[in-house]
């Protein structure tokens, strides 16, 4: 088994790339309306899991750089219940 604490290198992400976010919303929230706020040009969505109170989605979109990836994560996090 690999001990991640022993790995000294940072993970290198090559941009642009497709990035996946798991977005968890209250079950009553319409994802189509939710995603309109973010003005994404191209993206795909897959339903993931559903519970009594929540529903999760896998959002895949192309990001051009780390700043854009982190900004979108932050913006999603402000509106969603959770973002992974």
Angle at 6 between CA 5 and CA 10, to 5 degrees: 80
> What are the backbone angles phi and psi of residue 74, rounded to the nearest 5°?
-65, -45
The answer, yes or no, to whether residue 5 has pLDDT greater than 80, is no
Q: Which residues contact 47 (CB under 8 A, 6 or more apart)?
A: 55, 56, 57
Q: Which domains does the chain have, with CATH numbers?
A: 18-83 (3.30.70.260)
CB environment 50-71: b (16+ within 10 A), e (fewer): eeeeebbbebebebeeeeebee
Are 39 and 71 contacting, i.e. CB atoms less than 8 angstroms apart? no
The lowest-confidence range among 1-10, 14-23, 32-41 is 1-10
Look at residue 36 in the predicted model and tell me its pLDDT.
92
């Amino acid at each position: 088994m690999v001990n991640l604490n022993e790995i000294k290198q940072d993970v290198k992400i090559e941009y642009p790339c497709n990035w996946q976010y798991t977005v968890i919303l209250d079950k009553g929230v319409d994802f189509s309306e939710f995603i309109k706020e973010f003005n994404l040009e191209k993206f795909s969505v897959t339903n993931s899991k559903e519970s009594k109170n929540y529903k999760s989605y896998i959002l895949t979109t192309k990001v051009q750089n780390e700043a854009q990836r982190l900004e979108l994560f932050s913006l999603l996090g402000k509106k969603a219940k959770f973002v992974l």
